[in-house]
Structure 1
């Protein structure tokens, strides 16, 4: 019984220190006009570039808001790695950030110009901006000794 208790304590303590390798945040690619628009041709191309850019990170989980443009931004990557896209609520970013920090592997999150910076802030404590006409920023959050580090890349060719 004592051995079982020790094993249980070890497993619980191990799970409490589990953290993701990377959390990568992107804004959706270029969109058409309208209430819940799809991507433009340029946006479709950017989504393909983002997919290729993410492959070396070996993503394990994809998250998107429930909008056509964010789901379409991750669709090429989902097809390449043969996985589905999970949805998150952009109105509950604090809870979502907390949940992301408890996962493992590399997580890719597609959001918006007004939600992605907020999520970066929740994860890293750093302020970032995305202009309304800016679609190329890629935020890579890594964790070392439970400290978040942020790198910003571009999905431009």
Structure 2
């Protein structure tokens, strides 16, 4: 009887659908113009919109660059979920190394975990490609409302908008 119960339990566990890891990628929100800029009021509102959107998704990993604008964009989500963002600095002039470091950290996600990556116009789409996704052009400078959902197991990408839409086209 014990063997039958153990076999049944194992069968039930194996029959459960695998919950895929998901990586949510966004470019930082609207920034001001000073050196190492923070967010404008519109950017602060967008960052809060991101937190509201991701509350149910509940990322367990949040990655940013060293730039204040990425950290400020991630801050409301981190505060709402009690997750400490991890800063992955961009080596001077070396975006490929930064993207590789991000991909390695994302490779540690366990089934069912979700990560949020707040990047830049020239890091979001290269990271998608580094994870096995399609090669997409860098984001235009006007793109702040795009949100990319990369399903690791299915190798599928969804592109959405969040927050207040701006006039930037979804695909150029």
- TM-score after normalising by structure 2: 0.74
Shift of the 84–150 alpha-carbon distance from structure 1 to 2, 3 Å rule, reads: same
Distance in structure 1 (CA, Å) of the matches to 2:64 and 2:19: 20
Identify the residue that residue 75 of structure 1 maps to in structure 2: 75
Distance in structure 2 (CA, Å) of the matches to 1:20 and 1:112: 25
- Structure 2 unmatched ranges of 5 or more: 1-17, 165-172
Kept in 1: contact 2:24–2:150 (CA 8 A) = yes
Structure 1 residue matching 2:152: 3-state secondary structure: strand
- TM-score after normalising by structure 1: 0.81
Shift of 1:56: 1.5
Kept in 2: contact 1:37–1:68 (CA 8 A) = yes
Q: Which moved more, 1:103-112 or 1:83-92?
A: 83-92
The reply to whether residue 119 of structure 1 matches residue 127 of structure 2 is yes
Pick the structure with more helix per residue. Answer: 1
Identify the residue that residue 138 of structure 1 maps to in structure 2: 147
Identify the residue that residue 46 of structure 1 maps to in structure 2: 46
Identify the residue that residue 12 of structure 2 maps to in structure 1: none
Structure 1 residue matching 2:37: 3-state secondary structure: coil
Structure 1 residue matching 2:56: 3-state secondary structure: helix
Identify the residue that residue 151 of structure 1 maps to in structure 2: 158
* Displaced runs of 4 or more, over 3 A: none
Answer with 1 or 2: which has the greater Rg.
2
Distance in structure 1 (CA, Å) of the matches to 2:109 and 2:89: 17
- 1:82-134 Cα offsets, whole Å, 9 max, x none, are 12110113432123213312322100000000111111111133122411111
- 1:22-58 Cα offsets, whole Å, 9 max, x none, are 1111000000012200000000000000111111112
- Structure 1 unmatched ranges of 5 or more: 1-17
Kept in 2: contact 1:20–1:100 (CA 8 A) = no
Pick the structure with more strand per residue. Answer: 1
